[in-house]
Structures are given as structure tokens and as C-alpha cells.
Structure 1
């Protein structure tokens, strides 16, 4: 197995007449050591079916194929989706382990295999929606490591009571425990991004309830953080019709109405959903 370096990545891009697209969040990893590190942090084993979103020119894909039983790579750019199997055939010992799907990850509803681990350099402009979508639609994904913009990583791994804690933190916690997993230098990308990057890891856990409860809980989360400096009774007033009605729901849930959303864990938001009048 030969992993891709900076010169090979640039040569592939030249051959494809590829100019990295800012709208698609295309910043390609050109340091094979970083790719190997990500796969190691993710704990990928020979029993895993790895899902990769936005494989680009294949640097992380090849590192994954060194460890996983098989790799499903989902790529929105048709040129890259077409080139990836060719690149893998030239560099990998077992190219048949790769399945490439040309599609927008946000539209995925099913896959040809059941992935067990997610490892990806997620497009930074849609990283949170993509991660939440995959956690929702593919319950066989047990663990994963994703590379995202540093500020997004801090929000995903944020803890209650901190300025980073917000909608991404709470919604991700519905499905998984999310932790910070390290920083990545701008120098390992081509082109170098204008933002810093970090890794976050996650481990799936049982959800607090069914899909109906999730939808109610997520609506409450959205309301609570829409104006995050407001007390909950005020922040949720539009959801329940008035501050008084919101306060009644909060009290039934055992939640102090003068708290702000940033003080609550996912379990408390679920308690509010359970306390809604139609329950």
C-alpha cells in the first residue's frame, strides 16, 4: 500500500484540471502521516466497515483501506468520484475493498453495507448537518473521528455552562458522547485553509427516546439557543405561546425557568419535551 504525498496529490489535481472548490469545502490532506494518525485515533480494525465522507483525491481513503475490512466513500464531486477507484487501484493491495458512491452525503438514506465507523475530513461548510444526519440515519455506526473547523469541533465537544456549548453540542449528545481528539496544522492541507482544524471523536450510546421525542426535543433546543442569553421561560415563550406557559412546562419538568439553555444537558431538554401539555 502506497499512501499519497503532497506531490502526488498535486499531480492528480493537475491531471484532472481540478481547482479546489471553496463552495464544496475542498481542502485536501497532503500529509500521509496525518491520515495514518486519524485512522489510528479512530481505532479502525480489520472487522470494520468504514464510512468516509468527502474522500477527495483519496489520501485518507488509502489509509483507511490499510486497516478496515472495507471502505464506503461518498463523494459529491463527479470528477473525484470517478478518479478515486482508479487511484486506489494503482496504490492499494486490495482495491476491491472500496465502494464509491457519487452523492451528496446529506441525501443519503441507505448504503450497500452497514458502516461501523465514520472517519472523514468533513466539508467544513456542512460538517454539523452531515454528522447529525449520519448519526440519525445509520445506527450501525458505533464510533468515529471527524476533522472539522476548530470552532465547530469546540462546539460539538462543548460542555454545559461553557460558551462553546450550543445546538451542535446538545443535538450530537442525543446519539453519542463527543470528545476533542486533537488539533491539525493548516500546513497539511492543499490549499491551506484560512481556519484552524481539529479532530473530534464520538462513541454512540442509546438514545434518550424515540423519533417523536427527538423532534420535540430538538425544537426545544433550537428555541433555547435562538437567543442564548435569554432565560428559558423567555426563550421558549414563542414555542409555548407565552412566557407564563413556558414557565409552567419548565416547572413540570423540574427545570428552573430562570436558567439559560447553556446550563442544560440533553436529559433536561428531554424532560421539558416530556412535560409538554400533550404528554
Structure 2
């Protein structure tokens, strides 16, 4: 979830950003108590949302998908910078209030907002027309699947900047050979090149989370040749027993250790290496054998 501030200098005028007092007042008005189930931690620091919008490197013609807009902090920061924002909110109370918040604090920008009351893991391209970027303070419990789902569903989504749990950002940005590299890293690499984009202090959230947060930036790139479903199934199989050599780890996938070794050798991969050593191109080549 999110909440915070807006940029200045747009031709239609800036938004009036939400600070700690405004966030609490809105929550009280709505009877909202942030829940762990929905991963709700509202950002109440205007400087943080300004920083996010700046780091996202958005163009004036971008159409942004924001997942979990919450009380509207990041939404208000995004609207002056882009052509439109699709705010995807699963909580119907928050979704119903967001247009009024924008109308009150950024009246000249209200027509740039579209609220989609839905689970971000179930939305498709028809609900998010023209989307070119993802910028969001993602709920901690669904950060990875939301990013992968939206990249799969929205081929025009070219880049993104998301706030996630710090260790999740580390895993998503990790490359082959590192301890953090695993299923999320490899699957994201199918779609995009990712990098860490800085830490976010706990104090900018209400309630204060028990974990550190970080920013992850990504830029879409062409995937390697092959079938994504088949490649992702192979990645899951390879990392299910990540401490084993691939000859053993992929025995179930291939039918036997001997068949796995044959496939690995055909793909030019040492059968005794481990999954964490393979890049997405290696997985794609192996899946195609």
C-alpha cells in the first residue's frame, strides 16, 4: 500500500501532498486500520514519494500502473508527472475514496486517474489500457508475483520502480552465482534487467514495518528464445533442490538422472553444476533440448 506526495511544475499545477497528519485523518475518516493480511503499510513522507517518482524516470506520456495506492500518497505524486495512472486497489473502501482525495488535492489532474477495484494478481491488459510503467509501494506479501504477473500480462510495460521488502529487492536483482539468486531472480530476468535503486527507511511508513524496505528498478528486454511456461517449469524444478547438482536436481523433470545429464550436455551445461550458476539464457536453452 502507499501514501505520500507529489511533484511540482506541471502545466496543470501540482498536487497537495499527504503528510503524517493527513494520512492519519483519512484513515480515521474511513475507519481504516492497516492489516498484515493485505500487506498495508502507508507511506506518509512527501519526500519519499517525490524520490520514488524522480527515480522512476517517467516520461510525460507514460501511463503508470500503481498497485495498492492506499490513501493516495504516491498517486498524488505520480499524477503531475505522467499522462495517466491506473490505480489498482483490492480494498473497496480505499478504492472508493481515492478519486475524492485526488479531486480535493489535485483537482486539475483528476481526469488522469483511473481506479481499478481488483486483485492485482488477476488484472489483465483490458483493465489497464496503455500501461507503460509500473510504479508502486507493493504489499510485502505479494511483491514478486505481482511484478511477474504484470510483466506477463502487459507487453507494453517497459519499465518499473517498485518498493518491496529489502531482501526481496536483493533477490530480484541478484545475478547467477550469488547467494540471493533463485527462482524470482531467474524469472524476472526473462522479462527485464533489474537493479537495486536504494533503501527506504522504516520511519516513513505507518504503521512502522518490522522489516526494511528497498527500491527495485527494472527495464524490459527481449526474452531469450523459447516457451516461457516451459522455461519457468524448469526453473522451479532446478531450484527445488538447489544444493544438488543439476544431474540429480532435474532427474524428475527429465525422467531420470541419466536423461537429465543427456539434456544438460546437449545444452552445453556441466551436469555437476548447480541451478544458481545458470542464467536465464541457459535455462531457455536447456528447456528447448
Category of TM-score, reference length = shorter chain: over 0.9
Question: Which residue in 1 is equivalent to 2:76?
Answer: 62
Equivalent residues of 2:68, 2:136 under 8 A apart: yes
Instruction: Give 1:207's match in structure 2, choosing from 204, 223, 226.
Output: 223
Shift of 1:115: 0.6
Q: How does 1:235-254 map to 2 (within 5 A)?
A: 235-254=249-268
Q: How does 1:157-176 map to 2 (within 5 A)?
A: 157-176=173-192
Per-residue CA distance 1:17-59 (angstroms, 9 max, x = gap): 1110110000000001100100110011211111100000000
Shift of 1:274: 1.2
- Confirm or deny that 1:75 pairs with 2:98: no
Shift in alpha-carbon separation, 1:112–1:265, aligned structure 2, 3 A: closer
Per-residue CA distance 1:77-112 (angstroms, 9 max, x = gap): 000000000100000132111000000000012225
- Confirm or deny that 1:102 pairs with 2:92: no
**Any unmatched runs of 5+ in structure 2?**
1-14
DSSP 3-state at the match of 2:231: helix
Question: Which residue in 1 is equivalent to 2:6?
Answer: none
Question: Which residue in 2 is equivalent to 1:146?
Answer: 162
Q: CA RMSD in A?
A: 0.8
Instruction: Give 2:143's match in structure 1, choosing from 127, 130, 134.
Output: 127
> Partners of 1:112 and 1:51 in 2: how far apart?
7
DSSP 3-state at the match of 2:81: coil
Instruction: State the TM-score, normalizing by the size of structure 1.
Output: 0.96
Instruction: Give 1:5's match in structure 2, choosing from 2, 7, 19.
Output: 19
Report the count of equivalent residues.
273
- Where has structure 1 moved over 6 Å in runs of 4 or more? none
> Partners of 1:227 and 1:186 in 2: how far apart?
34
Instruction: State the TM-score, normalizing by the size of structure 2.
Output: 0.93
- Confirm or deny that 1:220 pairs with 2:234: yes
> Partners of 1:219 and 1:230 in 2: how far apart?
17
> Partners of 2:257 and 2:128 in 1: how far apart?
48
Shift of 1:209: 3.0
Question: Which residue in 1 is equivalent to 2:60?
Answer: 46
**Any unmatched runs of 5+ in structure 1?**
none
